[in-house]
Structure 1
Amino acid sequence: MQRYFVDPSQMKEQYVVITGDDVNHIARVMRSRAGDEIICCNGQGRDVRGAIEEIGADTVRVRILEEDLPSRELPVQVTIAQGLPKGDKMELVIQKGTELGAFSFCAFTSLRTVVKLDDKKEKKRRERWQKIAKEAAEQSHRSKVPNIANMLTWRELLASVTQFHYALFAYEKEETSTLRRALSEVPAGSRILLVIGPEGGFDEKEVVEAEAAGFISVSLGRRILRAETAPLYALSCVSYEFEQA
């Protein structure tokens, strides 16, 4: 069943009013008609099943049929902090990371980051990334659309550690602490920050700074993963630990 995210103000007690690009998607792409059923989510945990009552030029009115649909969210909130990669790799991370259950994403710059964006380009990228997250959340039947946060410097990322219960960073030279071991100590409901470096990895100085700030260094296994593969591997491990184990 097709799923659409709406602003909380558009979801009333007995009906939902859909506006924007989704109106065109419902009317022309899906060719939906009155009586067809869809799922609407307000992004704050309220998911409803409804029947289309009316399709107008700018709005679609949906009558609510069922409340309290089962949640498909991870039992923990995982924020992926990704060293800004080259090309469109961040789009892949956000699309697949959303499907795997990430709560939010944040790109950051560090010593080995190659890509540099000015404010205008960063804003444009984030708008596109947010759109990708929304589409992926709809496709994977998420209850929430991951937030795409403003890009951070390395110093700003280190300072953000206090906002989370657990802060982990993937480091290829870590020999004792594994992601599995770290996750085994995390209770459900926790906020986790998971930091993945850029293509060149972390500078030794950054490793020292991260550990001093309170981050836990973890290994993602014996193989060296690409920058865009590492967060997806890590999210898969989180899903297994909290949903399959």
Structure 2
Amino acid sequence: MQRYFVAPEQFRDGVITITGEDAHHAARVMRMKADDQLIASDGTGLSALAVVREVTPQEVKAEVLELLAPDSEPAWTVTIAQSLPKGDKMELVIQKGTEIGAAAFLPFESERMIVQYDAKKEAKRLERWSKIAKEAAEQSHRHRIPSILPLASWKKLLAGISDYDLALFCYEREGDRAHGQGIGDVVRAWKQERVEAMESASGKEPSILLIVGSEGGFTEREAEEAQAAGARLAGLGKRILRTETAGLVGLTCLLYESGEMGGA
């Protein structure tokens, strides 16, 4: 069944109003007509099965039949902090990360970042990334659209680590079992320390920041600074992963450890 995301103000009083490109898609591409059904979400977790009442290329109105439980959202809210990669790699990270279950994406600057950041292109880039996240959320039957946060400096990234229940710094040296710990080891130790107490006290979903380097990886100094700021170093295996692969692997590991894929 076709799914669309609408702004919260377009989802009220039992009526869903779809406009813009989505209305054109519904009318011209899907050829929807009165009495067809669709699913609409407001991007924050509210979703409903609705029946179409009116269709034009500019606007589609649908009546809510029933509200749907947001059962496709992960129990842990994971933000992928990705050092800005070159080319269209960030688009891949956002698209596939959204499908897997990321809650947000935070691009940031690091020492070995290859791409030259252009502030003039920031707004256009964020708009493009947001569109990719929306389309991927629709395709994967998400009830929320992940947030795309503005590019952060290294110092701002470090300052924000304390806002999360757990920050994982993906560091290739930790992939060597003789040297460090894998992401599973780190997360299981953290769960033992904090998750049970936190969930029993408040029922709050754990928030996790997954920090991934650029094509050149992280320097030893960056690893030390991240650790000093409260992040835990974690490896993603013995092999060296591409920057666009590392965050997706880490996210999958986290969702497994949350119990969504049979872990926990």
TM-score of the alignment, normalized to the shorter chain, above 0.5: yes
Q: The residue matched to 2:173 in structure 1 has which SS? A: coil
Q: For residues 68 and 213 of structure 2, what CA distance do their matches in structure 1 show?
A: 39
Q: Runs of 5+ in structure 1 lacking a partner?
A: none
Q: For residues 128 and 57 of structure 2, what CA distance do their matches in structure 1 show?
A: 25
Q: Which has the higher helix share?
A: 2
Q: For residues 182 and 122 of structure 1, what CA distance do their matches in structure 2 show?
A: 35
Q: The residue matched to 1:67 in structure 2 has which SS? A: strand
Counterpart for residue 47 of structure 1 = 47
Counterpart for residue 199 of structure 1 = 215
Alignment of 1:1-245 (within 5 A): 1-174=1-174, 175-184=179-188, 185-186=190-191, 187=195, 189-242=205-258, 243=260, 244-245=262-263
Q: CA deviation at 1:129?
A: 0.6
Q: Deviations over 1:159-178 (max 9, x none)?
A: 11121111111001013322
Instruction: Give the AA of the match of 1:47.
Output: S
Q: For residues 240 and 214 of structure 1, what CA distance do their matches in structure 2 show?
A: 23
Q: For residues 231 and 148 of structure 2, what CA distance do their matches in structure 1 show?
A: 22
Q: Deviations over 1:122-157 (max 9, x none)?
A: 221111011000000000000100010000111111
Q: Deviations over 1:16-57 (max 9, x none)?
A: 111111000101111111111110101122110001110124
TM-score with structure 1 setting the length = 0.97
Q: For residues 29 and 126 of structure 1, what CA distance do their matches in structure 2 show?
A: 26
Q: Which of structure 1's runs of 4+ aligned residues deviate more than 3 A?
A: none
Q: CA deviation at 1:70?
A: 4.3
Q: For residues 45 and 110 of structure 1, what CA distance do their matches in structure 2 show?
A: 33
223-232 or 13-22, which deviates more: 13-22
Q: For residues 186 and 43 of structure 2, what CA distance do their matches in structure 1 show?
A: 29
Q: For residues 208 and 44 of structure 1, what CA distance do their matches in structure 2 show?
A: 36
Q: Runs of 5+ in structure 2 lacking a partner?
A: 200-204
TM-score with structure 2 setting the length = 0.90
Q: CA deviation at 1:68?
A: 2.9
Q: For residues 72 and 66 of structure 1, what CA distance do their matches in structure 2 show?
A: 17
Q: The residue matched to 2:167 in structure 1 has which SS? A: strand
Number of residue pairs aligned between Structure 1 and Structure 2: 245
